[in-house]
Amino acid sequence: MINIKEEIQILLLKNGLSMRKLIQKMEEAGYNICSVGGFSKMLKTRSIKFDKVQEILDFLGYKISITKK
Contact in structure between 19 and 34 (CB atoms under 8 Å)? no
Q: How far apart are CA 7 and CA 50, in angstroms?
A: 14
Contact in structure between 46 and 5 (CB atoms under 8 Å)? yes
pLDDT tens per residue, range 39-61 = 888 888 888 888 988 999 999 99
| Per-residue confidence (pLDDT) for residue 58, from 0 to 100 | 92
Q: pTM (2 decimals)?
A: 0.79
Average pLDDT over residues 35-39: 83
pLDDT greater than 70 at residue 1: no
pLDDT greater than 90 at residue 33: no
- Non-local CB neighbours of 8 within 8 Å, separated by 6+ positions: 43, 53, 56
Q: Provide the residue count of the chain.
A: 69
